[in-house]
Structure formats: C-alpha cells, structure tokens
Amino acid sequence: MSTVPTIKLNHGGVEIPIIGYGLGTAHFKRAGDETLDPAITTATQTALSVGFTHLDGAEAYGNEPELGLALSSSPQYPRSSLFITTKLYKSISSPSEALSTSLKKLGVDYIDLYLIHAPFWDENEKGITIEQAWRELEGLYDKGLVKAIGVSNFGIEELERIRKVARVLPAVNQVEYHPYLQNPELKEYHKNHGIVTAAYGPLIPITKGAPGPLDSVIEELSKKYNKSATQILLRWAIDDGNVVITTSSKEWRMKEALAITEFKLDEEDVEKIRTVGKEKRHRIFWNKEFKE
Ligand SMILES: NC(=O)C1=CN([C@@H]2O[C@H](COP(=O)(O)OP(=O)(O)OC[C@H]3O[C@@H](n4cnc5c(N)ncnc54)[C@H](O)[C@@H]3O)[C@@H](O)[C@H]2O)C=CC1
Ligand SMILES: O=CCc1c[nH]c2ccccc12
C-alpha cells in the first residue's frame, strides 16, 4: 500500500495528506439521532484499511462517535499516523466546549485540523462574531489541542475579517471546488496568504453536475491515461494545487480514489479541464436550496 503524499500547512510543520476521506455526505446522520450506525464505522474502518490517513468529519455530520469507534477499533493505525479534521458550527458560540465534546466523541486527545464549518451564522443570535470565533480557535491552537486551525466555505470578505485580527492565519479553507466552480479570485487570495484550498465535491462534474461541456474531455483523458473519470477529476483537483476530499461506502471506489497518487496529469491537460470547466457553473452546497 503506497503512503499518501502530504502538503505542508502554514502552521508549524503540520502536514496534510493530499486526499481525505469524507464523513459528511455518504455518511451523515439526522440531527439528534443518537443511535450508532455500524455501517458508518465499517466504512471508516475500510477507508483506513485501504490506506486513507486523512479523515474529514464535523460536529454537523452527527457521526463523530462512529468515527471514534472506527479509530479505537483500528489500533494498527496509530493516532500519529492519522490526520483528523473536524468542524464546528452549531456550537459556534462556545468553541472550547464544542472541541471538548468532539474530542470525547472521537476518543482522541487532539485534532489535526479544526475548522469553522461555514461563516453563515447569525452573529446576534449566536452572540459571537467571526472575529471573536477565530480568536477562540487561536486559543485552542495555542493550547496544542488542535494542531492547525482553518475555515470552510469562507469567501474573501470573511477571510479578510479574520486576517485583520489574526495572530495565526487560517491554514486551510475547505470549499466546494471542481472544474464547474473554480473561483479564481479566492484561489489567488489563498495563494497570496499561504492558505491551502481543500476541495470538496470534486466529482460534481460527473455526478450532480452532469451532463456538461467536460464530458468529452474527461472521456478523452480517461483513454489517454487509462484511468477512470473519477480518477481524472480527483487528480485534476490535486494537480490544480488543492487537497481533495472525497467519499464512498464502497471499498473499490475508495481504492480507485487512492490510486490517484500513482499518476499525474500533464500541465496541458490540467489547463484543458480548467478552460472547458469555466464554460459551466454549478454549485451544490450552501446555496439557497441547501439544507444543513
Ligand atoms: N465543508 C463542507 O461544507 C462540506 C464538506 N464536504 C466533505 O467532502 C466530502 C466529500 O464530498 P462529496 O461531494 O460527497 O464528494 P465527491 O464529489 O467526491 O462525491 C462522492 C460521491 O460520488 C460517487 N461517485 C464516485 N465516482 C462516481 C462516478 N463515476 N459516477 C457516479 N458517482 C460517483 C461516490 O460513490 C460518492 O457517493 C464529504 O463527505 C465531506 O466530508 C462535503 C460537502 C460540504
Ligand atoms: O459539510 C457538508 C455540508 C453539511 C453541512 N451540514 C451538514 C449536515 C449533514 C450533512 C452535510 C452537511
């Protein structure tokens, strides 16, 4: 089994594996559902067994206990060999308590990357501003309870609010990112401030965003590289300079995803996908219809 390459974050030598296994879309549970779902634990154990080292969870997914069970039942993958992300949102009013709860549910004593899940809360209702929430995350980082801190679904405006007060800049912004949602201005901002873009929804052009102008390009590149459409899109996300987060319950799909570490797209093909991708815009998450 090959090891997953990593990228250095802007926080004290922390390295993030370039592909992560998501607990959010295939596996989330209804809010308030306290029953353990063994299928989620099994899928996560499988993800670990095929070689995923980076797990992407969140308070909102309701499945930190299942993720914790997968970790405690897999002692062959020591904590230090894993990169665990979780996110807070509902409990944004009290980040310190939210982190304690997540640590307990996950059964770990630190988180590798702690993210604010989205910037869309009502600051009056929650009694906390983006700036105050960020300062609280900095406090958790100072204590060593989280090795790196970042955000998710933030735009330039919200990142600027953080930058103006930050001692520690976000290490990562996890956003929906694929050829049909490239947001070059945000990417440029990330580059200028050393923020890694973690791309979720990388397969949208062949799932919810299909059909589209990229269909024939992906087919042509699948033949050229002898790789599946899934692999072409996941590899594109990496070769475009991002970390990529994907998911599946199926072992063969997990292996298919991890096998992208074994090839690379030529720069002209990365550019071709970028160019043709810009002909369509398709956003799935956190738009007006999206219900968390
Ligand atoms: N921070 C945030 O707000 C969000 C974070 N995420 C994170 O990202 C993770 C992955 O998100 P997704 O959008 O689900 O990832 P994705 O775009 O990689 O899609 C994964 C889905 O595509 C399916 N798939 C793979 N190849 C396919 C093919 N050739 N044809 C048809 N279907 C195919 C898989 O079986 C799986 O159901 C989540 O689990 C979560 O951890 C996801 C959404 C929002
Ligand atoms: O992170 C992905 C989007 C999201 C936000 N809140 C929830 C709750 C359950 C599943 C997905 C999500």
Atom of ligand 2 nearest to the CA of 60: 8
Atom 36, ligand 1: residue with shortest CA distance? 248
Annotated binding site for substrate: 117
Ligand index nearest the alpha carbon of residue 30: 2
What ipTM score was computed for the predicted complex, to two decimals? 0.98
Interval between CA 225 and ligand 2 midpoint (Å): 34
Instruction: Kindly report the backbone phi and psi dihedral angles of residue 205, in degrees, each rounded to the nearest multiple of 5, phi listed first.
Output: -60, -25
User: How far is it, in rounded angstroms, from Cα 125 to Cα 122?
Assistant: 5
User: How far is it, in rounded angstroms, from Cα 146 to Cα 139?
Assistant: 10
Interval between CA 230 and ligand 2 midpoint (Å): 22
Ligand 2: residues with CB < 6 A are 24, 28, 58, 60-61, 285, 292
Contacting residues for 2 by C-beta, under 8 A, at least 6 apart: 51, 258, 261, 262
Q: Report residue 176 as tokens.
A: 């929906």
Cβ–Cβ under 8 Å, residues 226 and 2: no
Interval between CA 286 and ligand 2 midpoint (Å): 9
Q: Specify the pairing of strand 6-8 against strand 15-17.
A: antiparallel
In the chain, count H helices and then E strands.
11, 10
Helix (H, G, I), strand (E, B) or coil at 111: strand
Q: What's the pLDDT at 52?
A: 98
Note the pTM of the prediction, 2 decimals.
Answer: 0.98
Judge whether 141 counts as a catalytic residue: no
Q: What's the pLDDT at 30?
A: 82
Residuewise pLDDT in 10s, the chain (292 residues): 769 999 999 988 999 999 999 999 988 888 788 899 999 999 999 999 999 999 999 999 999 999 999 999 999 999 999 999 999 999 999 999 999 999 999 999 999 999 999 999 999 999 999 999 999 999 999 999 999 999 999 999 999 999 999 999 999 999 999 999 999 999 999 999 999 999 999 999 999 999 999 999 999 999 999 999 999 999 999 999 999 999 999 999 999 999 999 999 999 999 999 999 999 999 999 986 776 6
Atom 5, ligand 2: residue with shortest CA distance? 292
Distances (CA, A) of 7 to 109, 114, 220, 244, 250: 23, 17, 29, 11, 27
The region that residue 194 occupies, defined by phi over 0 for left and psi between -120 and 50 for alpha, beta otherwise, is left
Q: Which of 61, 114, 189, 200 is catalytic?
A: 61
Cβ–Cβ under 8 Å, residues 206 and 233: yes
Atom 26, ligand 1: residue with shortest CA distance? 230
Atom of ligand 1 nearest to the CA of 152: 1
Q: What's the pLDDT at 104?
A: 98
Task: Give the DSSP letter string of 161-183.
Answer: HHHHH-SS--SEEEEE-BTTB--
Contacting residues for 46 by C-beta, under 8 A, at least 6 apart: 251, 254
Q: What's the pLDDT at 292?
A: 67
pLDDT digits (tens, 9 = 90+) for 231-254: 999 999 999 999 999 999 999 999
Distances (CA, A) of 41 to 64, 67, 245: 10, 6, 18
Ligand index nearest the alpha carbon of residue 197: 1
User: How far is it, in rounded angstroms, from Cα 116 to Cα 132?
Assistant: 12
User: How far is it, in rounded angstroms, from Cα 3 to Cα 17?
Assistant: 9
Atom 5, ligand 1: residue with shortest CA distance? 200
Q: Report residue 243 as tokens.
A: 């970390």
Q: What's the pLDDT at 251?
A: 98
pLDDT digits (tens, 9 = 90+) for 40-61: 999 999 999 999 999 999 999 9
Helix (H, G, I), strand (E, B) or coil at 196: strand
User: How far is it, in rounded angstroms, from Cα 103 to Cα 52?
Assistant: 20
Q: Report residue 241 as tokens.
A: 């300079």
